[in-house]
Amino acid sequence: MRVHNRRFLFHDPGRQSNPWRLLLWGTLILVGISTLRGISAGEIEPLFLPTATATRSATSYREEGTAFFNAGNLDAAIGAYQDALAVNPSDYVGWTELARIQTYSASLLTQDRRRTRMAEARQSIDTAVALAPQDSMANAVKAFVYNWSGSSAANAAERQAFVSEASTAAILAVQLDNRNVLAQAYQAEILVDQQQYDQAQQRAQLAISLDPNSLDTRRVYAYVLEASGAYSAAIEQYQLAAELAPNLTFLYISIGQNYRVLGLHDQALEYFDRAATINSGLGVTDPLPYIAIAKTYARDGEFFAAARNAEQAVTLDPTNPDWYGQLGDIYFRSRNYEGSIPVLLCAVRGCTAEENEGWGVAVVGMPLSDTTLHYYNTFGSVLAALDYCEEAFPILEAVRASYSHDQISMAIVNENFQVCANLAARASSQGTPTPVPADATPTP
């Protein structure tokens, strides 16, 4: 057997100098000194520091926002675009898209919340236009935002100002690019709101010819047809829009509303239910489909089913006074007068958590306005009818002070004052005085 030479295995020959080893050690020493100087100067980072977290790009957030929008989760889409703009606040395209999504999301909100959301949308699109004043798309979306702002305006003058601003933006958008599909579509929508139906029809058809596969062109054409009273044709266009964006529930709400106008309540309920099912699958707590279902059942006189769906809307959003008003109206119409009082109280005057026995949360009441007048009239009527006149008087007086020009409201107010006067007279004859306001004289 061959054994390899192992002469140094047990024998120490003594220390010997190796020139290559000395060269290696010298090099390492010089590198170390250089590294220490670099660290001290901040030019080189020390070893073993924690790995820096990668920062997401604005494009990544925008793509996520688009995916959320297509999925029908508009609040999540808004959040993603806001994250993108936090990374790149000078991205006018991002501001434009954010404004468009904010505007669409407003259709799923009640009047007060819609007003807030539309103010946010105007701020977003104004930022986009300030960054790119000659961009056709930014101006087109500005037209869309300002036109939809008119539906939540505080008064007629503000509504007119919004529509005028929208019209100016739409004209500029078309001048900058006459093949901008959204500019053409949004201008058609504005023309409808200006009651120029023939021009709106022509503009909407032009938009369809430019891009028949656009959610916006189909939706706007449906809106033009709906405004013209062509409800069946409008349904067809809304259905085509829903095929392009199957998770946007406001399209199903529009389809259902058109079916309801046609008196086809079963079909209407089918689409409202579809909207509720999509929201449930997405984890979106949107009460509007349930309110739409409740109103449809109420029109058929099925008040129990109507109340159940309205109660579900309140459960999903228990601090929103509008849902209490809707529920109170259904209770009132079903002659559940005692049951209507606590929910109408929450809608009109507001209520504490203790007063709100059904849901146990405090609710801030809605001020008197065109959109809440019906709730005030209903609340005043039920209080007067059940001889809660002392509570009814402030409600009736508020309506009389603000709506003396409204003949219907004044008839309701006068009738309820008369009811309370009759109750007071009857109680007085029985020796039990009932309070009557000094100025309870009917309005002529």
Question: What pLDDT, on a 0 to 100 scale, did the predictor assign at position 361?
Answer: 96
pLDDT digit string, tens, across residues 305-354: 999 999 999 999 999 999 999 999 999 999 999 999 999 999 999 999 99
Q: What average pLDDT does the structure give for the chain?
A: 87
Question: What pLDDT, on a 0 to 100 scale, did the predictor assign at position 20?
Answer: 55
**Is it the case that residue 184 has pLDDT exceeding 90?**
yes
In sequence order, what DSSP letters do the residues of 318-344 get, joined into one string? Answer: TT-HHHHHHHHHHHHHTT-HHHHHHHH
Question: What pLDDT, on a 0 to 100 scale, did the predictor assign at position 7?
Answer: 37
Q: How many CB atoms lie within 10 A of CB 276?
A: 24
- Between 81 and 42, where is the model more confident? 81
Quote the pTM value.
0.77
Question: What pLDDT, on a 0 to 100 scale, did the predictor assign at position 6?
Answer: 39
Question: What pLDDT, on a 0 to 100 scale, did the predictor assign at position 53?
Answer: 52
Which tokens sit at 193?
Answer: 């709101």
Name the DSSP letter for residue 68: H
Name the DSSP letter for residue 45: P
Residue 89's pLDDT band (boundaries 50, 70, 90)?
Answer: very high
Which tokens sit at 202?
Answer: 């022509």
Degrees to nearest 5, angle at CA 407 with 401 and 412:
75
277 touches 283 (CB < 8 A): no
Distance CA 82, CA 93 (A): 12
Question: What pLDDT, on a 0 to 100 scale, did the predictor assign at position 5?
Answer: 42
